[in-house]
Amino acid sequence: DAKTTQPTSMDCAEGRAANLPCNHSTISGNEYVYWYRQIHSQGPQYIIHGLKNNETNEMASLIITEDRKSSTLILPHATLRDTAVYYCIVSYTSGTYKYIFGTGTRLKVLA
Amino acid sequence: EPEVTQTPSHQVTQMGQEVILRCVPISNHLYFYWYRQILGQKVEFLVSFYNNEISEKSEIFDDQFSVERPDGSNFTLKIRSTKLEDSAMYFCASKDTGPYGYTFGSGTRLTVV
């Protein structure tokens, strides 16, 4: 089973920030948090990852709580093209790096 | 930006036939994966491959499935005798050493009739 829980769906107005939460209360010290998104039936697309510090790249920001039990993915100015299923995944930093996908959050960006 | 390439994009096969799904991972990546997604369901791990051998496989990856890296560039998934329930999107992925994310291909839609 997935080690993360996410809301099933969310709506966001175009141009506004989309904040997608993820709970990973059983995360261990050597597990990273990864975020991916899947548009229709395309292959999942990597967005961002982090261990304990907040991270930002050209796509999004990742905020990880100090106890690392939850995180939030922030899309600062959502566009219609950001409509997708967003997956939060925890994975070890060694070994096979296998992912266990949950059901994700279906984000709908509204015009 | 480097891509993982999968062919074909769509394959239709008769039940009981063998299929080979092909993938070209990113050239300097060392870890290779196959995942599948049955329509409307979660993305499921099938197998991971490192250093020319399977490093982990799921319960789904039974004796009907095999993987191969026949040369330095291709990574294939073979299903020996397809069943109706093998119908799904199959995604190949690769990653580099370290905590970097995967790069997934765009998938092969397998339809078993």
For the stretch B45-98, pLDDT in tens is: 999 999 999 999 999 999 999 999 988 789 999 999 999 999 999 999 999 988
3-class DSSP string for A21-85: EEECCCCCCCEEEEEEEECCCCCCEEEEEECCCCEECCCCEEEECCCCCEEEEEECCCCHHHCEE
Best of A5, A99, A100, A103 to mutate (most B CBs within 10 Å, chain B): A99
What burial letters (b/e) apply to A61-71, b meaning 16+ CB within 10 Å? bbbbeeebebb
Q: What is the pLDDT of chain B when averaged over all its residues?
A: 95
Q: Do B42 and A101 touch (CB under 8 A)?
A: yes
Nearest residue of B to residue A94, measured between CA atoms? B98
Averaged pLDDT for residues B21-43? 96
Q: Is residue B86 a contact partner of residue A24, using CB atoms and an 8 Å limit?
A: no
Q: pLDDT band for position B16 (50/70/90)?
A: very high
The helix or strand, by DSSP H or E, that contains position A90, with its residue range, turns out to be strand A84-92
* pLDDT(A2) > 80: no
Q: Is A97 left (phi over 0), alpha (psi -120 to 50) or beta?
A: left
Amino acid letter, A36 = Y
* A49 min Cα distance to partner chain B (Å): 7
* A42 min Cα distance to partner chain B (Å): 5
Query: How far is CA A91 from its chain centroid?
Result: 13
Q: Is residue A16 a contact partner of residue A96, using CB atoms and an 8 Å limit?
A: no
- Compare CB distances from B42 to A36, A46, A103 and report the shortest one's residue: A103
pLDDT value at position B48?
A: 96
pLDDT value at position A1?
A: 76
Q: Do B93 and A43 touch (CB under 8 A)?
A: yes
For the stretch A30-50, pLDDT in tens is: 899 999 999 988 999 999 999
Nearest residue of A to residue B33, measured between CA atoms? A98
Give the separation between CA B65 and CA B72, rounded to whole angstroms.
21
> Which residues in chain A are contacts of B33 at CB distance < 8 A?
98
- Compare CB distances from A44 to B43, B44, B45 and report the shortest one's residue: B43
Q: Do A93 and B99 touch (CB under 8 A)?
A: yes
Torsion angle of C-alpha atoms A4, A31, A1, B32, degrees rounded to 10:
120
Nearest residue of B to residue A104, measured between CA atoms? B42
